[in-house]
Chain A
Amino acid sequence: MSDTRKMVFFSLLVALGTTLHVVEGMIPNPFPIPGVKLGLANVVTFVAVYLYGLRSGLAVGVLRVILGSLVGGVFLSPAFLLSMSGSVVSTLIMAFLLRFAPCFSIRGVSVAGAVSHNAGQLLTAALIMRSCSIFYYLAFLLPAALVTGMITGHLLDMVLGRLERSGVVQIYAGGKGGSDNGEYVCRGYIRRAL
């Protein structure tokens, strides 16, 4: 994949992530627990980490939170800080698992991403409030993250399969050697396929 191709794909990921971030914020929360979201924007971050590695994943995650909160008008507010910390923490965890823990499937990594997203958010909330009371909320957020993580993991399976079949991204090429891009994550995907 050439640099231009990568740049275009990367820009598309940022745009997609921003759109999902904003649109998801407009959908009324179907759960009785405030703060629970499906995390569709995290699907995009995952794809970025998966295809291009940690640094690009972090860039996509951070950029989409900045752009999304600018659109939503919450830039630099507590809500922005929560989104940002959740996004950064979950990207770090997902990249770590993809690189060093091939025993997890894509759904497993997605669940870990969702859980760490909530954990990062609560940690930041506790720091902002300078209070530990908020951690009681984990009892509600963790099961929710489990469910949303499974759903986004299933979506990721479909998205990566389609990307590979469409030939836009050569996900499988890394394992056969000779691929210019894809590196560890691509080979990881072959091990993790199905």
Chain B
Amino acid sequence: MRKADNCLIVGVLLAAALSAMIYYRVTLLRTATAVDTRAVIKVRGRIVRTIDLLKDGKQSVYQVQGSIGHAHLEVDGSRVRMREAPCPDRTCILQGWIERPGESIVCLPNLVEIRIEGGNGLDAVTR
């Protein structure tokens, strides 16, 4: 191993740590007490549906036509999850429930993205 190699490895690790920190700040440190949140569902980057998430809302299932098949989303009060998906690896389903603003479920094979937005009356926070 050369010196330059080691610099490269350190650089990659730093980049990984940085993206992990941003990920942590954006998704995990958001307050769980956010109100007025909504789930924005995108297929191929286009918003196909927006669902208002209410704390005392009822449980319901939505169906969205993705790139390779139907995705079934389940909304339970203020949280949402992917319940059924036609993708081979099922990562989106295994991710479970999301409810904090900024959290998202991305199903790459099916090109479906669920993202929680809103909360505290802010659209976005600059960092």
Chain A interfacial residues counted at CB < 8 A: 27
A103 touches B19 (CB 8 A): no
A133 touches B115 (CB 8 A): yes
Chain B residue at minimal CB-CB distance from A150: B9
Dominant secondary structure of chain A at its interface with chain B: helix
Chain B residue at minimal CB-CB distance from A139: B20
Residues facing A in B1-35 (CB within 8 A) are: 1-5, 8-9, 12-13, 15-17, 19-20, 22-23, 26-27
Q: Encode A17-60 as 1/0 by CB contact (under 8 A) with B.
A: 00000000000000000100000000000000000000000000
- Stretch from A107-115, A159-167, A169-177, A178-186 forming part of the interface with B: A107-115
Least Cβ–Cβ distance between A89 and chain B, in angstroms: 15
Known: A105-B2, A146-B9. A129 touches B20 (CB 8 A): no
A139 touches B9 (CB 8 A): no
Chain A residue at minimal CB-CB distance from B115: A133
Known: A129-B42, A130-B45. A78 touches B111 (CB 8 A): yes
A108 touches B4 (CB 8 A): yes
Contact of A111 among B12, B27, B91, B106 (CB under 8 A): B12
B15 touches A129 (CB 8 A): no
B15 touches A103 (CB 8 A): no
- Give A34 to B42 CA distance when docked, in angstroms: 21
- Give A34 to B95 CA distance when docked, in angstroms: 12
Chain B interfacial residues counted at CB < 8 A: 32
Chain B residue at minimal CB-CB distance from A102: B4
Q: Which of B5, B15, B19, B42 has the most CB of A within 10 A?
A: B5
B104 touches A78 (CB 8 A): no
What residues of A have a CB within 8 angstroms of the CB of B16 in the complex? 138-139, 142-143, 146
Chain A residue at minimal CB-CB distance from B20: A139
Least Cβ–Cβ distance between A152 and chain B, in angstroms: 14
A107 touches B113 (CB 8 A): no
A136 touches B26 (CB 8 A): yes
What residues of A have a CB within 8 angstroms of the CB of B23 in the complex? 136, 139
- Give A111 to B4 CA distance when docked, in angstroms: 12
Least Cβ–Cβ distance between A188 and chain B, in angstroms: 13
Least Cβ–Cβ distance between B4 and chain A, in angstroms: 4
Q: Encode B102-114 as 1/0 by CB contact (under 8 A) with A.
A: 0010101101010
B12 touches A107 (CB 8 A): no
Residues facing B in A82-106 (CB within 8 A) are: 101, 103-105
What residues of A have a CB within 8 angstroms of the CB of B56 in the complex? none
What residues of A have a CB within 8 angstroms of the CB of B111 in the complex? 78, 128-129
B44 at the interface (CB under 8 A from A): yes
